[in-house]
Structure 1
């Protein structure tokens, strides 16, 4: 895909990208070093969420089990509606009333899974998600870093396998993935989309941001409202556009900023035009 060569013009030391087709998980195109290990930042939340959903299906705990501040559940934490602050284990709102994007909430999620399963979160994620999908280079280091973002490392090649799973699930019931990625959890809630300011509504599924009608946005101007995924502060993103029938991964090693807010939508529009 010629559009993928646009990453050569990004002001970053290293970048890599791939596009994955929904129908069969085929990689339609790649550019850049596919096996280079990049820090994922908040793209890690997609992997954390998937591990949590596997745990739910395995009966480790349930979405409506208590977790986090009083009145909060696993579901609230996944949907950023637990009321926890951005980076503090401090309640700022009643659960279910505001969309407060919370790294702390994902720390609590990992702790809850560890407590319920008796397995460290990093090991559970590896056994439940990474190993079955052949994501050999991917890891979430929770020893000194957060499962919300800073602890995640992966490659485009590994995330292409994950993107194929998101579009044709094998590890989860497709209905579970549909609910997590296509159904807004706690509809109508407003909140801050990191890097873009307040959005009303700020639609989110269970761990997956849903694009909806947000504008401007880190995806493209031609991305469908059904597009879901996440971007990371380390200059990374993964989106799935069900209408286009494809997913795209881009990893870099320069922090998100004005360069990415400008480059990413044009890149996504070019990719979608080529599909």
Structure 2
């Protein structure tokens, strides 16, 4: 029996999981791949890709001032601008801590809208969803948390993360390395991490403990999880990715179930 069938034992009404290999093919699947789920912060991965495209097109640059005084696009993109989690309150000086923030991402989208004259939901649709054939995906609201999608669409996106076609491999490598190294911070749901490593939009596993990926996942593993009970990770060493969506909010059940599940996925498919 596929390890993915473990999701049937989780305390959720609906769940789906797919595994994508380095060739972009689905090599494991369980559940309804066409059911639409709210993504919560997995939305940030989709928005990140749009921001990276904008960087390559030189519509924006990492050095652009954006956010609080002294902050840049680079700070917003890597959660070091000093913002509170979900308000525009400034909690710390720019660049001194890793302060995971929805507001920071929303400020980044506002900056892109000003520079391009295109509203962000339209930009990400034209830049990402359309080219990848993600017909069941949208961001209706916050670029940080209001995405909706299916496992089928996110499998296409995971394939793109493994084999970039919309951005260069150099841009992808830059986005998935640690930016502002050595900063401590809170990983929501898992407590203080030192360091709390992040790339450009992508959370990087690094040495974090506890963590939602498995203990054997390479430090270079990147992705995101969402409060709505969703996650997507990419292992660039073993060249696999996993998308898992549920309809129950993240909580102790997920903190307990996800890491061993992801460990088993890595063991079976790598």
Pair in the same fold by TM > 0.5: yes
CA deviation after TM superposition for structure 1 residue 11, in Å: 0.7
CA deviation after TM superposition for structure 1 residue 221, in Å: 1.5
What's the counterpart of residue 66 of structure 1? 65
CA deviation after TM superposition for structure 1 residue 92, in Å: 1.8
1:187-266 correspondence to structure 2 within 5 Å: 187-266=181-260
Task: Tell me how far apart the structure 2 counterparts of residues 123 and 162 of structure 1 sit (CA, whole Å).
Answer: 18
Task: Tell me how far apart the structure 1 counterparts of residues 111 and 13 of structure 2 sit (CA, whole Å).
Answer: 37
CA deviation after TM superposition for structure 1 residue 137, in Å: 0.5
Task: Tell me how far apart the structure 2 counterparts of residues 75 and 148 of structure 1 sit (CA, whole Å).
Answer: 16
What's the counterpart of residue 109 of structure 1? 108
Task: Tell me how far apart the structure 2 counterparts of residues 75 and 18 of structure 1 sit (CA, whole Å).
Answer: 32
Alignment partner of 1:175 is 2:174: no
Of 143, 148, 171, 2:144 maps to 148
What's the counterpart of residue 135 of structure 1? 134
- Over 6 Å off, 4+ runs: none
Per-residue CA distance 1:54-102 (angstroms, 9 max, x = gap): 0111111111111101111111111000111111112222211110001
Task: Tell me how far apart the structure 2 counterparts of residues 8 and 32 of structure 1 sit (CA, whole Å).
Answer: 9
Gap regions ≥5 residues in structure 1 = none
CA deviation after TM superposition for structure 1 residue 224, in Å: 1.1
Per-residue CA distance 1:173-201 (angstroms, 9 max, x = gap): 111111111x1100000000000111000
Q: How many residues in Structure 1 have an aligned counterpart in Structure 2?
A: 269
Superposition TM-score, scaled by structure 2 size: 0.98
90-99 or 253-262, larger mean C-alpha shift: 90-99
Per-residue CA distance 1:207-238 (angstroms, 9 max, x = gap): 00000111110011211111100000000000
Task: Tell me how far apart the structure 2 counterparts of residues 153 and 228 of structure 1 sit (CA, whole Å).
Answer: 20
Alignment partner of 1:162 is 2:157: yes
3-state SS of paired residue (1:40): strand
Task: Tell me how far apart the structure 1 counterparts of residues 80 and 86 of structure 2 sit (CA, whole Å).
Answer: 14
Superposition TM-score, scaled by structure 1 size: 0.96
What's the counterpart of residue 44 of structure 2? 45
